[in-house]
């Protein structure tokens, strides 16, 4: 490719809108441009890198025996009602009506659509195992889209879905995908960890996240220094006998809890499952509650209770009261979106008492305790795990680190196939539900994560497998009778050798060209300049190390292939 014929609008200045390095560099290097919040155009050089990731993903999925298909982005709400997720998914699901007033949505994920295909087309145990995948644009109306491609509203995902005859067979499919993911992220040149994860709203029984280690990661992961244990924060968070920061643990006042129906109603209202509704108070050393840990949409959020606790009257700005089916208020919902707080009336009353001065020392207020209302293992006194806690597996020392979730594998079980009545006939003639798994890779997020891990002050440093070009030739004598033909010959020879090469044939100053070459992050730069006239040598420079070597053009061609 000739630089003069490309469309790579680089920026010399740091764009003010970009908070993290990958976002800044992708804008500066002309990879992406923002259309609206969380929605980006992928410019030619950016698309080239996205395609590289897609191809690696595609090759590894195919190698693992998965079959590519492509499903629609627009989905009928009916399917989501069948699975029960139309209510549960919450505001990330962008809903709209078509001209016939049919409820529709933009696919944030495709369990419903694929289950619909499979229940109609696959009928026998002989059809399995099957794993179908697509690489497709997803839409999630993220509450806080940010960091460019890292958390977009529109983004490219690879999503795969496996269908098996039994739980054991589904485990095999899961392991295959787990192994494929390891290959994918290794080939992308990423330093990552596969960590145990909770399976959250999507349901299911078993799950791992693939986390790229990076300072700007939005997730915290827990890694044991003494064994293989690695988990995300949520999964690692331990069930504690005592409140974390309190001086002493105490018998609690028995707060009346809302009945099962009430909690159900509240969860339905919030569009989440009861098991996600986990809350505990965080205490200061003096026993003063300062925050609550709330789990909603698989995030544990610290929600400050100042509003709640500081107010004489219960004032919760912008928050809504939640009523049960009979119209009795049962709690409060807010703040909007993922940060969900449920406070039972009884609890509010107890906390108000506590704060009204009648607080016996060592008294703790507890919230809605789902453990009393539901059989769910995740419910208890939760606080975030710390490095002071022992490793849940070996008792060893834990470390915390930041990570970017680039992939996620779930063993789903029969949740979807039961709700959507997707069955096959087994060997013994019986109708059984498909045992499913689902597996996602954030293709566009991988690009951002790669930059987070591979850059320096001058720009991106692409891992070779993701680089838009492997080599950039910097022609420093466009007008020169010796340099120009030599650079052009090198270009055509490298092309002929199958090397992905960009030639900077713009009539610009050397410094200008070198800056762009560094910014774009192309692994090797070959400079054809005055030196060539003197000695017949070109300069080959490795982007990552900055090391340079003088070589004859033929030598450079052999070296760069
Ligand atoms: P997150 O925790 O970051 O919100 P998720 O757990 O909601 O991600 P999944 O449903 O597991 O995401 O989707 C599979 C993969 O899609 C994720 O592992 C991630 O790499 C990618 N992904 C999810 N949301 C986004 C987004 N808003 N922008 C870019 N990639 C995303
Ligand atoms: Mg999400
Ligand atoms: Mg996640
Ligand atoms: Mg996930």
The answer, yes or no, to whether any atom of ligand 1 lies below 6 A from the CB of 405, is yes
- Residue 156 Cα to ligand 3 middle (Å): 15
Q: Is 132's pLDDT higher than 50?
A: yes
Tell me the C-alpha distance between 196 and 222, whole Å.
10
Q: What is the pLDDT of residues 104-124, one digit of tens each?
A: 999 999 999 999 999 999 999
- Residue 199 Cα to ligand 3 middle (Å): 9
The answer, yes or no, to whether any atom of ligand 1 lies below 6 A from the CB of 92, is no
Structure tokens given for 357: 């001065």
Contacts 24+ apart (CB under 8 A), 168-176: 169/128, 169/129, 169/435, 170/411, 170/413, 170/435, 170/436, 170/437, 171/411, 172/129, 173/129, 173/131, 173/437, 174/206, 174/409, 174/411, 174/437, 176/64, 176/65, 176/131
Task: Write out the DSSP string of 259-314.
Answer: -HHHHHHHHHHHT--GGG-EEEEEE-TTS-EEEEEEEETTEEEEEE-HHHHH-SS-
Residue 537 contacts residue 558 (beta carbons within 8 Å): no
Tell me the C-alpha distance between 340 and 303, whole Å.
8
Distance of CA 25 to the CA centre of its chain: 20
Q: Indicate the range of 51-60, 117-126, 409-418 predicted with least confidence.
A: 409-418
Tell me the C-alpha distance between 561 and 471, whole Å.
10
Tell me the C-alpha distance between 296 and 22, whole Å.
28
Q: Is 151's pLDDT higher than 90?
A: yes
**363 band by pLDDT with thresholds 50, 70 and 90:** very low
Q: Is 68's pLDDT higher than 90?
A: yes
pLDDT at site 335 = 31
pLDDT at site 474 = 98
ipTM for the predicted complex comes to 0.99
193: helix, strand or coil: strand
The answer, yes or no, to whether any atom of ligand 1 lies below 6 A from the CB of 346, is no
Distance of CA 63 to the CA centre of its chain: 24
Task: Give the residue whose CA is nearest to atom 19 of ligand 1.
Answer: 442
Ligand that comes closest to the CA of residue 109 = 1
Ligand that comes closest to the CA of residue 217 = 1
pLDDT at site 260 = 32
Average pLDDT, the chain: 79
Distances (CA, A) of 414 to 79, 231, 434: 16, 25, 6
At how many degrees (to 10) do helices 443-453 and 44-63 cross?
Answer: 110
Pairing relationship of beta strands 67-68 and 130-139 according to DSSP bridges: parallel
Q: Is 226's pLDDT higher than 70?
A: yes
Is the Cα torsion angle 475, 478, 484, 488 positive or negative in sign?
Answer: positive
**200 band by pLDDT with thresholds 50, 70 and 90:** very low
pLDDT at site 470 = 98
Region 7-18: mean pLDDT is: 93
Pocket probe for ligand 1: among 157, 301, 443, the residue whose CB has the most ligand atoms within 8 Å is: 157
49 closest CA partner among 463, 403, 404, 407: 463
Q: Is 312's pLDDT higher than 50?
A: no
The answer, yes or no, to whether any atom of ligand 1 lies below 6 A from the CB of 438, is no
Q: Indicate the range of 205-209, 295-299, 427-431, 545-549 predicted with least confidence.
A: 295-299
Task: Give the residue whose CA is nearest to atom 27 of ligand 1.
Answer: 151
Pairing relationship of beta strands 501-504 and 471-475 according to DSSP bridges: parallel
- Omega into 335 within 30° of 0, i.e. cis? yes
- Residue 447 Cα to ligand 3 middle (Å): 17
* Burial class (CB within 10 angstroms; exposed 0-12, middle 13-18, buried 19+) of 77: middle
Q: Which ligand 1 atom is the nearest neighbour of the CA of 406?
A: 20
pLDDT at site 296 = 34
- Residue 357 Cα to ligand 2 middle (Å): 41
% pLDDT > 70, the chain: 72
- Residue 406 Cα to ligand 2 middle (Å): 11
DSSP strands (E only) in 37-116: 39-42, 67-68, 74-76, 95-97, 103-106
Q: Is 311's pLDDT higher than 50?
A: no
- Residue 85 Cα to ligand 2 middle (Å): 15
Pocket probe for ligand 1: among 442, 443, 450, 451, the residue whose CB has the most ligand atoms within 8 Å is: 442
The answer, yes or no, to whether any atom of ligand 1 lies below 6 A from the CB of 383, is no
Q: Which ligand 1 atom is the nearest neighbour of the CA of 210?
A: 18
Tell me the C-alpha distance between 439 and 412, whole Å.
10
Task: Give the residue whose CA is nearest to atom 15 of ligand 1.
Answer: 442
The answer, yes or no, to whether any atom of ligand 1 lies below 6 A from the CB of 454, is no
Region 332-349: mean pLDDT is: 37
The answer, yes or no, to whether any atom of ligand 1 lies below 6 A from the CB of 140, is yes
Ligand that comes closest to the CA of residue 439 = 1
- Residue 195 Cα to ligand 1 middle (Å): 15
**18 band by pLDDT with thresholds 50, 70 and 90:** very high
Q: What is the pLDDT of residues 439-482, one digit of tens each?
A: 999 999 999 999 999 999 999 999 999 999 999 999 999 999 99
Q: Indicate the range of 190-199, 242-251, 280-289, 376-385 predicted with least confidence.
A: 242-251
The answer, yes or no, to whether any atom of ligand 1 lies below 6 A from the CB of 518, is no
Q: What is the pLDDT of residues 249-282, one digit of tens each?
A: 222 232 333 333 344 544 454 454 554 444 433 3
Task: Give the residue whose CA is nearest to atom 13 of ligand 1.
Answer: 440
The answer, yes or no, to whether any atom of ligand 1 lies below 6 A from the CB of 155, is yes
The answer, yes or no, to whether any atom of ligand 1 lies below 6 A from the CB of 208, is no
**286 band by pLDDT with thresholds 50, 70 and 90:** very low
Is the Cα torsion angle 237, 243, 245, 248 positive or negative in sign?
Answer: negative
- Omega into 129 within 30° of 0, i.e. cis? yes
Ligand that comes closest to the CA of residue 141 = 1
pLDDT at site 540 = 98
Contacts of 436 (CB under 8 A, 6+ apart): 111, 115, 161, 162, 163, 164, 170, 412, 413, 414, 415, 416, 417
Name which residue leads in pLDDT, 200 or 191.
Answer: 191
Pocket probe for ligand 1: among 150, 193, 440, 450, the residue whose CB has the most ligand atoms within 8 Å is: 440
Q: Which ligand 1 atom is the nearest neighbour of the CA of 159?
A: 14
The answer, yes or no, to whether any atom of ligand 1 lies below 6 A from the CB of 407, is yes
Q: What is the pLDDT of residues 485-535, one digit of tens each?
A: 999 999 999 999 999 999 999 999 999 999 999 999 999 999 999 999 999
331 closest CA partner among 258, 254, 252: 258
The answer, yes or no, to whether any atom of ligand 1 lies below 6 A from the CB of 217, is no
**89 band by pLDDT with thresholds 50, 70 and 90:** confident
Pocket probe for ligand 1: among 88, 192, 208, 408, the residue whose CB has the most ligand atoms within 8 Å is: 408
pLDDT at site 273 = 55
- Residue 198 Cα to ligand 1 middle (Å): 14
Q: What is the pLDDT of residues 161-170, one digit of tens each?
A: 999 999 999 9
Task: Give the residue whose CA is nearest to atom 29 of ligand 1.
Answer: 151
């Amino acid at each position: 490719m000739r630089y003069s014929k490309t469309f790579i609008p680089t920026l010399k200045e740091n764009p003010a809108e970009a908070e993290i390095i990958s976002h800044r560099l992708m804008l500066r290097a002309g990879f992406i441009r923002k259309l609206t919040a969380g929605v980006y155009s992928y410019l030619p050089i950016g698309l080239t890198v996205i395609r590289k990731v897609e191809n690696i993903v595609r090759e590894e999925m195919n190698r693992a025996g998965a079959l590519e298909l492509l499903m629609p982005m627009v989905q009928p709400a009916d399917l989501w009602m069948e699975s029960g997720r139309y209510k549960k998914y919450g505001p990330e699901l962008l809903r709209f009506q078509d001209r016939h007033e049919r409820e529709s949505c933009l696919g944030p994920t495709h369990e419903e659509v694929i289950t619909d295909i499979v229940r109609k087309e696959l009928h026998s145990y002989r059809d399995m195992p099957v794993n179908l995948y697509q690489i497709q644009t997803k839409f999630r109306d993220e509450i806080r889209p940010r960091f460019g491609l890292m958390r977009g509203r529109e983004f490219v995902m690879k999503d795969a879905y496996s269908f098996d005859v039994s739980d054991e067979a589904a485990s095999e499919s899961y392991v295959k995908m787990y192994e494929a993911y390891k290959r994918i992220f290794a080939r992308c040149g990423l330093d990552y960890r596969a960590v145990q994860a909770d399976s959250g709203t999507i349901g299911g029984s078993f799950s791992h996240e693939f986390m790229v280690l990076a300072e700007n990661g939005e997730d915290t992961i827990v890694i044991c220094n003494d064994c293989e244990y690695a988990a995300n924060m949520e999964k690692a968070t331990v069930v504690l006998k005592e409140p974390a920061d309190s001086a002493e643990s105490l018998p609690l006042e028995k707060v009346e809890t809302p009945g099962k129906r009430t909690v159900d109603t509240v969860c339905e209202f919030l569009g989440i499952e009861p098991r996600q509704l986990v809350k505990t108070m965080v205490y200061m050393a003096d026993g003063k509650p300062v925050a609550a840990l709330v789990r909603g949409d698989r995030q544990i959020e610290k929600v400050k209770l100042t509003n709640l606790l500081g107010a004489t009257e219960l004032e919760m700005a912008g928050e809504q009261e939640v009523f049960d089916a009979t119209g009795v208020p049962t709690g409060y919902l807010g703040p909007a979106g993922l940060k969900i707080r449920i406070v039972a009336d009884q609890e509010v009353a107890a906390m108000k008492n506590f704060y009204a001065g009648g607080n016996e020392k060592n008294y703790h207020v507890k919230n809605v305790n789902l453990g009393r209302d539901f059989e769910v293992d995740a419910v208890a006194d939760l606080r975030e795990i710390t490095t002071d806690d022992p490793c849940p597996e070996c008792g060893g020392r834990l470390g915390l680190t930041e990570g970017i979730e680039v992939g996620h594998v779930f063993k789903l079980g029969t949740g979807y196939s039961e709700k959507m009545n997707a069955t096959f006939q087994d060997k013994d003639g019986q109708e059984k539900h498909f045992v499913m798994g689902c597996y996602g890779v954030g293709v566009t997020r991988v690009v951002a994560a790669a930059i987070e891990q591979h850059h320096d002050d001058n720009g991106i440093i692409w891992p070779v497998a993701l680089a838009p070009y492997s080599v950039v030739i910097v022609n420093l004598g466009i007008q020169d009778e010796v340099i120009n033909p030599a650079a052009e010959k090198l270009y055509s020879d490298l092309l002929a050798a199958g090397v992905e090469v960009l030639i900077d044939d713009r009539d610009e100053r050397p410094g200008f060209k070198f800056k762009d070459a560094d910014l774009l992050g192309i692994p090797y730069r070959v400079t054809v300049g005055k030196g060539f006239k003197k000695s017949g040598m070109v300069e080959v420079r490795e982007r990552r190390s900055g090391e340079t070597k003088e070589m004859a053009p033929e030598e450079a061609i052999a070296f760069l292939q």
